[in-house]
Amino acid sequence: GSVPDHTPKEEFGELVAALPRKQQSILELRLYQGFWLPEHWVPGTIVFQRRFAPRPDDVILASYPKCGTTWLKALAFAVMARDAHPPAHPDHPLRRLNPHDCIPFIDEIFAGGEDAKLDLLPSPRLMNTHLPFTLLPDPVTNNGGTCRVVYVCRDPKDMAVSLWHFLRRRHPDLPFADTFESVCDGTVPVGPVWDHVLSYWRASQANQDRVLFLKYEDLLRDPAGNVRWLAAFMGRPFLADEEAAVQDVVELCSFEKMKGLEVNKAGTSGAYKAMPRDAFFRKGVAGDWANHMSPEMAARLDGVVREKLQGTGLAF
């Protein structure tokens, strides 16, 4: 494309300044189309909505932050690249690169005015976003959509705990109660979390061939089954004689393996320059919320989520 004369931030500064704002402790959020976006994401989101040209074989990996993005990126990459890079190979890219360096983060690319980077990627493209389904560009969501979308979500209680630990890497004094309150009232990045989850749940219900809905807890319980499902959805099903490859993908992307890699211990990654890579590999389990929340807090968040999801067929 042509070189824009303004950065997205300059171009949409006035529009952003007119949006409802919430400064909550360390978070600076703007309400955009029903969701609280980090202020610096809004201009890039608008450009993404206006300019993104999906290709039919694109796969967009979507997630609520701290719900398994890194894991999904690793799994999807290992599955799609398995001809060129057999998952058991000792020199597999995922043993040398952090998953965030293998798959571009759309939101950051557009925020930085670098969309040409996406145009240059060979097909099939794998990309990720934290935006809710309803904020994705029209060609992705309209009429059953042009491309495929895979979503991963997680028990909001564990998401809240994971988010707090993540934020604490840069704000060591942040109290858990502060993050918890933000999650409960929806004023978290791309919150409310229930609306985010519902946006993809409804899309997957309406069009199962286009939107795959996964849960972190299901991935933990049955990684091989979910990898087969993911591969089939992405148009690269595992054949009968590839059973070992399924196990190899699961193994390659397992929490212990990934956390133990040198590349995931030190340094930072392209789109997440502000965060050390090891911040993406903390504990990797379900139920850690019990170590941070009182039963009353858990019941309160569960209650909010249950009420919002009532009648949708979705539960955590």
Of residues 147, 258, 271, 301, which one binds ligand A3P by CB under 6 A? 258
Pick 21 or 283: Cβ nearer ligand A3P: 283
Of residues 30, 66, 82, 196, which one binds ligand A3P by CB under 6 A? 66
Q: Which of 92, 100, 130, 292 is catalytic?
A: 130
Q: Among this protein's residues, is 130 annotated catalytic?
A: yes
- CB-CB neighbours of 105 under 10 Å: 20
Pick 9 or 259: Cβ nearer ligand A3P: 259
Number of residues binding to ligand A3P, judged by CB under 6 A: 22
Strand order in the sheet with 27-32: 21-24, 27-32, 35-38
Question: Contact region for ligand A3P (CB under 6 A) — 10-18, 61-69, 86-94, 132-140?
Answer: 61-69
Of residues 12, 51, 65, 81, which one binds ligand A3P by CB under 6 A? 65
Question: Contact region for ligand A3P (CB under 6 A) — 9-17, 59-67, 103-111, 240-248?
Answer: 59-67
Residues 120-149 that bind ligand A3P (CB under 6 A): none
With contact defined as beta carbons under 8 Å apart, do 190 and 63 qualify?
no
- Using CA atoms, how far residue 259 sits from 166, 254, 281, in Å, is 15, 8, 6
For the bound state, the minimum distance from the C-beta of residue 115 to ligand A3P, rounded and expressed in Å, comes to 23
The reply to whether 253 sits near ligand A3P by the rule CB under 6 A is yes
Look at strands 59-63 and 21-24 and give their pairing: unpaired
Q: Give the span between the Cα atoms of 31 and 42, in whole angstroms.
A: 9
Residues 281-310 that bind ligand A3P (CB under 6 A): 281-284, 288
The reply to whether 162 sits near ligand A3P by the rule CB under 6 A is yes
The reply to whether 69 sits near ligand A3P by the rule CB under 6 A is yes
Count CA atoms within 13 Å of residue 36 on its CB side.
19
Pick 19 or 275: Cβ nearer ligand A3P: 275
For the bound state, the minimum distance from the C-beta of residue 282 to ligand A3P, rounded and expressed in Å, comes to 3
Catalytic site residues? 130
User: Which residues make up the interface to ligand A3P (CB under 6 A)?
Assistant: 63, 65-71, 74, 158, 162, 165, 253-255, 258, 280-284, 288
